[in-house]
Amino acid sequence: MKLRHLFTVNIFFAAFFGISCSLFPAWVLRIYGLGSNDAAIWTTRLVGGSILGLATLMWFGRSSADRDARRAIALALCVRDLVGTLASIEIQLRGGINTFGWSNPILYGLLTLAYLYFLFVRPADS
């Protein structure tokens, strides 16, 4: 597998969550057992937009001939996924969201490990 392939897989997750958060924020909040007040809906839409922005970056990054650009994108995504893993574990352990919330640290954690692999173990495949 190459980094380009990881970007492609990640695009599907990002598109799903980005569109869901942007267009259906109350539904997303509900499946996690969270309330959907105006602030939560607004924040969820902002997060969705950010996720879609990263999906766009991955889309163009996967076909970039510039290895340094792909590695920079991978590093940014690795940092985002590491923070997502830690934040998701913290809220889950606090009991802030329902059991469905365990899907987040699992997905973020797997993506973090995958990006770390391409950044440090197999940088030649980046």
pLDDT of 126 reads 79
The answer to whether 65 and 52 are in contact (CB under 8 A) is: no
Compute the distance between CA of residue 45 and CA of residue 22 in angstroms, rounded to an integer: 4
pLDDT of 74 reads 97
What is the domain partition of the chain in residue ranges? 3-125
pLDDT of 110 reads 98
Provide Rg for the chain, Cα atoms. 15
pLDDT of 10 reads 98
- Long-range contact list for 120-123, CB < 8 A, 24+ apart? 123/71
- The chain-wide mean pLDDT, for the chain, equals 96
pLDDT of 124 reads 83
Per cent of the chain over pLDDT 90 is 96
Quick one: DSSP state of residue 70?
Answer: H
Q: How far apart are the first and last CA of the chain?
A: 10
pLDDT of 1 reads 85
Is pLDDT of 125 > 80? no
**What pLDDT, in 10s, does the model give residues 9-67?**
999 999 999 999 999 999 999 999 999 999 999 999 999 999 999 999 999 999 999 99
Q: What is the pTM of this model?
A: 0.93
Q: How many CB atoms lie within 10 A of CB 122?
A: 12
**What pLDDT, in 10s, does the model give residues 63-115?**
999 999 999 999 999 999 999 999 999 999 999 999 999 999 999 999 999 99
